[in-house]
């Protein structure tokens, strides 16, 4: 049995490699935000202090030109009347000064000579200012000064000159000079930490895996640091405010159990470390690559944040490594993390926990669509990307994956998940790409499935009425879909006594009939919690 199991695993691995190779042609990334350049690498040298909130920066940016160009732009917030924002003092191309303008939050850089397609050049930008956002400089709950990068969605431009969009991913390093009492955490691995004169310290972190700016970060605080363990050679650490260290080390310890679960289910962890950091992020958790920031309120010592940890750790695969091409597809990040969180909690605490979560999340989806009737992939004009952090992107996205798993079966579903990750690891993807992957994995045409659950607003609203026919010993029922728009197509499970009947529903009104031994006391809709719907059932 062991040998047969090994052979099957090798065959599956070979199939994944073949499919990945085939899909690469379709997986070509389309950059629409900044079509002129593709940033290859950022090196941010930052000087920070305790006297004021002014940041002094020296950024070296390596760009590859996609086309012939005489100039290109980067995102960087201008100085405002309030005194916040950045001022650029110098720009160089390969050590030579070049002309630039900095207006309307765009740094426009003129080239010394026109670029050639695929040509690579290096630019150095010297700037300083007080960040209005993005780098949060404040005091923590103990009154100590802290500094935390908090870039989602496109707030990196407040303190970093960059292409501030998920479609352009690049490797990054942060070289931070700051007062020596700070511990500095960032993406990647620590290259150097050195004490300097005048009570200063230099810390250098480097990440070689391409990242979107939304998950690039630094964190500075008076941390206590604990190595919680290693998983598959990956060090897992906890960075906790010194006063909270005993509680925080307990609360963040489950990461050592969560990481191996996802590695087994999805594929290799994409980074060289996992740091879990108590912070001043505006979110409950922010999934920065290899350095996750959690709200300082997450620490209680009660070891009750398994779901939060699982959600943010799942983002390391989905959102960080496989990144949505643009904000319309943010569910590929948040919906996946919600689904994976559910899966881990079901694995750890049992199926009853999973069912409880699914029902709670289903209610959130139904309540939200009463407030805002939009599809998961929302193509409407959204200017505030924070508005996309809603029940459609999170709970409905997670539910769609749950329905898809039920539709194609566990084995093919996880085959699809693994193929999706293997294909787009380190790249960008769209919902169309995900559909194509699952069609390849399952052999099914999933166009109508994706159309109704992701591109169509709303969910099925069902009214079911039934009656018992004594003479025929049968149940006669009418299933009505009362939502606006086209009727959905889905399998409907009905529990009648100890028997579950599955009926394919696709019409606005469906008449169904089936025999039973005795008149049931009730009929239960969706007894195994596999359908995203609202509604009621009445019988006599």
State the pLDDT at residue 539: 87
| Count of alpha carbons within 13 angstroms of residue 245, beta-carbon side | 12
Structural domain includes residue 23: no
Q: What CATH number did the domain enclosing 341 receive?
A: 1.10.390.10
State the pLDDT at residue 11: 45
State the pLDDT at residue 294: 98
State the pLDDT at residue 378: 86
Q: Which domain holds residue 54?
A: 33-221
**What is the value of pTM for the model shown?**
0.93
Whether 86 and 210 map to the same domain: the answer is yes
Whether 428 and 469 map to the same domain: the answer is no
Structural domain includes residue 275: no
Angle at which helices 331-349 and 431-442 cross, to 10°: 50
Structural domain includes residue 259: no
Whether 378 and 517 map to the same domain: the answer is no
Structural domain includes residue 234: no
Answer with the one of 428, 454, 480 that is the final residue of a domain. 454
State the pLDDT at residue 24: 45
Q: What CATH number did the domain enclosing 525 receive?
A: 2.60.40.1840
State the pLDDT at residue 143: 97
Answer with the one of 186, 221, 256 that is the final residue of a domain. 221
Is the CB of residue 273 less than 8 Å from the CB of residue 208?
A: no
Whether 37 and 186 map to the same domain: the answer is yes
Whether 47 and 68 map to the same domain: the answer is yes
**Cβ atoms within 10 Å, residue 120:** 13
Answer with the one of 435, 454, 473 that is the final residue of a domain. 454
Whether 448 and 469 map to the same domain: the answer is no
Whether 355 and 431 map to the same domain: the answer is yes
Give tens-digit pLDDT for 438-470. 999 999 999 999 999 999 999 999 999 999 998
Strand order in the sheet with 96-97: 96-97, 85-93, 120-130, 55-65, 37-47, 170-179, 200-211, 189-195
Q: What CATH number did the domain enclosing 143 receive?
A: 2.60.40.1730
Structural domain includes residue 428: yes
Whether 414 and 521 map to the same domain: the answer is no
DSSP label at residue 415: H
Structurally, the chain folds into a number of domains equal to 3
Structural domain includes residue 28: no
Give the whole-angstrom CA distance, residue 511 versus residue 410.
Answer: 31
Whether 444 and 502 map to the same domain: the answer is no
Whether 70 and 139 map to the same domain: the answer is yes
Whether 375 and 495 map to the same domain: the answer is no
Strand order in the sheet with 291-295: 223-231, 234-241, 274-279, 291-295, 285-286
Structural domain includes residue 312: no
Give tens-digit pLDDT for 340-386. 999 999 999 999 999 999 999 999 999 999 999 999 998 776 778 99
Whether 74 and 202 map to the same domain: the answer is yes
Structural domain includes residue 245: no
With a cut of 70, list the residues of the chain below it in pLDDT: 1-31, 381
State the pLDDT at residue 497: 86
Is the CB of residue 86 less than 8 Å from the CB of residue 65?
A: no
């Amino acid at each position: 049995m062991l040998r047969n199991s090994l052979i099957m695993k090798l065959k599956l691995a070979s199939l994944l490699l073949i499919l990945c190779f085939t899909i690469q042609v379709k997986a070509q990334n389309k950059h629409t935000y900044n079509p002129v350049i593709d940033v290859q690498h950022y090196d941010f040298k930052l000087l920070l202090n305790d006297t004021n909130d002014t940041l002094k920066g020296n950024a070296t940016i390596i760009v590859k030109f996609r086309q012939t160009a005489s100039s290109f732009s980067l995102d960087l917030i201008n100085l405002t009347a309030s005194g916040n924002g950045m001022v650029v003092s110098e720009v160089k191309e390969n050590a030579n000064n070049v002309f630039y303008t900095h207006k309307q939050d765009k740094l426009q850089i003129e080239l010394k000579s026109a670029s050639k397609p695929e040509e690579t050049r290096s630019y150095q930008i010297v700037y300083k200012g007080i960040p209005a956002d993005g780098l949060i400089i404040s005091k923590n709950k103990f009154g100590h000064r802290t500094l935390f990068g908090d870039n989602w969605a496109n707030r990196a431009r407040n303190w970093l000159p960059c292409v501030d969009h998920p479609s352009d991913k690049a490797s990054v390093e942060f070289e931070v000079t700051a007062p020596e009492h700070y511990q500095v955490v960032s993406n990647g691995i620590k290259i150097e930490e050195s004490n300097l004169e005048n009570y200063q310290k230099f810390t250098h972190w480097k990440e070689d895996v391409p990242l979107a700016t939304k998950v690039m970060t630094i964190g500075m605080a008076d941390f206590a640091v604990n190595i919680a363990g290693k998983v598959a050679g990956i060090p897992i650490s906890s960075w906790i405010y010194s006063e909270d260290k005993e509680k925080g080390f307990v609360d963040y310890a489950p990461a050592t159990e969560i990481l191996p679960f996802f590695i087994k289910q999805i594929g290799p962890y994409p980074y060289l470390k996992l740091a879990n950091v108590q912070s001043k992020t505006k979110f409950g958790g922010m999934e920065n690559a290899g350095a996750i920031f959690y709200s300082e309120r997450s620490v209680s010592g009660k070891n009750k944040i398994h779901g939060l940890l699982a959600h943010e750790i799942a983002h390391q695969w989905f959102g960080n490594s496989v990144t949505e091409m643009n904000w319309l597809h943010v569910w590929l990040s948040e919906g996946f993390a919600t689904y994976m969180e559910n899966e881990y909690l079901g694995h750890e605490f049992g199926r009853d926990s999973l069912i409880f979560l699914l029902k709670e999340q289903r209610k959130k989806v139904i309540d939200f669509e009463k407030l805002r009737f939009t599809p998961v992939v929302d193509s409407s004009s959204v200017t505030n990307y924070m508005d996309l952090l809603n029940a459609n992107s999170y709970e409905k996205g997670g539910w769609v994956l749950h329905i898809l798993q039920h539709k194609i079966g566990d084995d093919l579903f996880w085959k699809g998940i693994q193929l999706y990750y293997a294909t787009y690891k380190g790249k960008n993807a769209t919902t169309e790409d995900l559909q194509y992957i699952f069609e390849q994995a399952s052999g099914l045409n999933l166009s109508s499935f994706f159309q109704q659950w992701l591109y169509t607003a709303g969910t099925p609203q069902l009214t079911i009425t039934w009656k018992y026919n004594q003479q025929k010993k049968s149940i006669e029922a009418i299933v009505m879909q009362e939502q606006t728009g086209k009727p959905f197509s889905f399998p409907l499970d009905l529990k009648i006594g100890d028997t579950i009947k599955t009926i394919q529903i696709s019409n606005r009104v469906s008449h169904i009939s089936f025999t039973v031994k005795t008149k049931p006391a009730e009929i239960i809709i969706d007894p195994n919690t596999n359908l995203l719907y609202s509604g009621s059932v009445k019988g006599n």
